[in-house]
Chain A
Amino acid sequence: MTIVARPESRRARRADRPAARRSGAPRGAGSPGEPRRIGWLYVLPALLVYGAFLLWPLVRGAQFSLYEWDGLGPATWAGLSNYGEMLSDPVLRGSFGHLAVLIVFYAVLPCGVAFVLVGAMSRARVRGLAFFRTALFLPQVVAMVAVAVAWQWMYSADGPVNGLLRALHSLGLPDWSRGWLGDFTFALPAVGLIGTWVNIGLAMVLLLAGVQKIPRELYEAARIDGAGPVREFWTVTLPGLRRELAVALTLTSILALRNFDLIYMATGGGPGDATKVPAYEVYNRTFNTGEVGLGCAVGITIAALAFAITAGIRRAVEGRPDRAEGRA
């Protein structure tokens, strides 16, 4: 999970303090809200595990990425050459290109669909809203490896996708059926659509929560002004959902960055290099081709991209002060 930290929290806390004093707390070592070194003792166990098994490996990863190493013999200093190779190696460069395509499928497309669904859910009371929400969110909780198996069957030669396309063919449309995940042109979009399928529910739940906070009066005012569903969307819904949209785009883009499971299980990066992505190349370069430094360079780049996406999208949204203040 990624979080869009907010400036309010600090402000809210400052507001708490006078309240604590007003309640008549005697000022002493033990009173709540007063500085206490014992706090460190409470944090220490978590901090030790977190530092040793998350932060330290990250530092080590950055260190490894500066060496040429096959994982067995001695390592030699390589400076930034692994990062240079990441940009010059056509397969690795291609993997970042594939990532860009997948972000469209994992983030942009699901948010688009989610807007349509939220539009359908919010204009009037929908019976069975909880049911639709549960069903649409379901793909989020299923293990990616199981999702991969399910979709290999969906896309298989005699699977439901080709079955549907053949039915369309018999109605006079061209025959679009093919072995989707083995096709050099269509494997990447086919994998991308699995990501779309997984992420629609997540984007929808986020946007739905936001839309319920938009004051009803804004819709009524828009309707009195004679706005139809489309204008209502552009003038009321979309501006009201800026923050939720940003969170949805952040979370889904990061899921696109971290799609190792799906690629490993569904295509293994193939056919050829058609579905190789950075997350897969971290594993592939380290354990299959013995380029540990290069694998780590890709891993560190993924972490940097995740951080940049989180910070970038947040800035894009909170850059406008009027919105940063408004909502709780």
Chain B
Amino acid sequence: MIARREQVVNYAVLTLFAVIAVFPMVGVVVRALQLPDLDLSAFATAWRDGRFAVYLRNSVIVTVVTAAAATVLSIMAGFALGTMRFRGADALALLFVAGLTIPTEAIVVPLYFDLRSLHLDNTYAGVILPQVAMSVAFGTFWMRAYFRSVPPSLLEAARMDGAGSWTTLWRVLVPMGRPAILTMILLISMWTWNEFLLPLVILNSEEGLRTAPLGLSFFQGAHKTDYAALMAGALIIAAPVVLLYVFLQRHFIAGMLSGAVKE
């Protein structure tokens, strides 16, 4: 039914925009590796002068702890809000959803001053706890949607077998919900890994705790126009997420989609 000419135009449009989407990223790789010669000196500069080994380690610690804590808390809260009825459950669910619209910009300044008076500025806890809070808003919403999709007969069967709610949750529902949980972990990890404003403000003086994106911004300050070294730094911090995305892209896209459209 579709004219051949239209088919050609369609592919041309898609190819053009796909090239535009990928070009700057390919440019980063080409410049960082100084292709086609393949000269790794820019990486050496970034790794040595930029201290990216330290920054990557910090990012891994912050991301893993944040994602692990947020996942456990979200599963528990989502389970209760999705399968149990109790006074205030609907109000609580709304409260968590409201958190999805709170931007970091609105809380970062009071967080800085209050965490400073608790001596939590320039600590891992100072960047992890607020990010757990932000992740829990999404995670609870996400897990609640999953638990509500579980057939009530399944809960009933588990109960008949003598399983308490705790056992039902961790032995039956969590193993069954692995795809949904994996999607949530990936999204939370990506947001935490990429977060910039919060570490910038909270980790203002402790260089040894800087996360990778923060490290790149300081590295940029020192290497304004050394594009090869800057690109190497950008590649170092972007690569872990991009690799995960390439292999698990269904989870990323499905997560973004149903997070936004469902419910």
Contacts and interface: CB of A to CB of B under 8 A. Distances in A.
A34 B13 contact: no
Given A57-B114, A142-B241, A149-B28, A43 B81 contact: yes
Interface size class of B (residues with CB under 8 A): 35 or more
B104 A258 contact: yes
Interface in B8-42: 9-11, 13-14, 17-18, 20-25, 27-28, 31
A206 B77 contact: no
B201 interface: yes
Interface in A72-102: none
A239 interface: no
A20 interface: yes
B197 A261 contact: yes
Nearest to B110: A60
Contact of A52 (B27, B133, B238): B133
Nearest to B7: A124
A254 interface: yes
Q: Tell me which of B21, B88, B138 has the highest count of chain A C-beta atoms within 10 A of its own C-beta.
A: B21
Interface of A: 1-6, 9, 13, 16, 19-20, 23, 25, 30-43, 45-47, 49-50, 52-55, 57-58, 60-61, 63-64, 71, 113, 116-117, 120-121, 123-124, 126, 131-147, 149-154, 156, 160, 197, 200-202, 205-206, 209-210, 223, 229, 243-244, 247, 251, 254, 257-258, 260-261, 264-265, 278-279, 282-283, 286-287, 292, 295-296, 298-300, 302-303, 306-307, 310
Chain A interface main SS type: helix
Nearest to A149: B234
Q: Tell me which of A32, A137, A206 has the highest count of chain B C-beta atoms within 10 A of its own C-beta.
A: A32
6 closest Cβ pairs, A-B complex: A42-B80, A60-B110, A53-B133, A303-B106, A46-B77, A57-B107
A60 B114 contact: yes
Contact of B17 (A43, A113, A149, A257): A113
A145 B133 contact: no
16 contacts: A3-B260, A25-B156, A42-B77, A43-B80, A52-B133, A55-B99, A58-B102, A61-B106, A121-B10, A136-B21, A142-B238, A151-B24, A282-B105, A283-B197, A295-B109, A299-B105
A179 to B, nearest CB: 12
A283 to B, nearest CB: 7
Interface in B225-263: 225, 227, 230-231, 233-235, 237-238, 241-242, 245-246, 249, 252-253, 256-257, 259-261, 263
Contacts, number: 337
A137 B246 CA distance: 11
B43 interface: no
A146 B89 CA distance: 41
Contacts of A36: 84-86, 165
A123 B2 contact: yes
A5 B261 contact: no
B105 A258 contact: yes
A50 B233 contact: no
Interface of B: 1-2, 6-7, 9-11, 13-14, 17-18, 20-25, 27-28, 31, 69, 73-74, 76-77, 79-81, 83-89, 92, 95-97, 99-114, 129-130, 132-134, 136-141, 148, 152-153, 155-156, 159, 165, 187, 190, 193-194, 196-197, 200-201, 212-213, 216-217, 220, 225, 227, 230-231, 233-235, 237-238, 241-242, 245-246, 249, 252-253, 256-257, 259-261, 263
B99 A54 contact: yes
A291 B93 CA distance: 36
Contacts of B31: 153
A151 B9 CA distance: 28
Nearest to A198: B21
A242 B169 CA distance: 38
A138 B25 contact: yes
Given A149-B28, A200-B21, A209-B257, A1 B138 contact: yes
B156 A200 contact: no
A5 to B, nearest CB: 6
A149 B80 contact: no
A242 to B, nearest CB: 12
B197 A260 contact: yes
A51 to B, nearest CB: 8
A257 to B, nearest CB: 6
B249 A137 contact: yes
Given A2-B100, A146-B237, A265-B217, A54 B155 contact: no
Contact of A292 (B9, B73, B109, B155): B109
Contacts of B155: 32
Contacts of B132: 49, 53
A246 to B, nearest CB: 10
Contacts of B140: 46, 50
Nearest to B230: A149
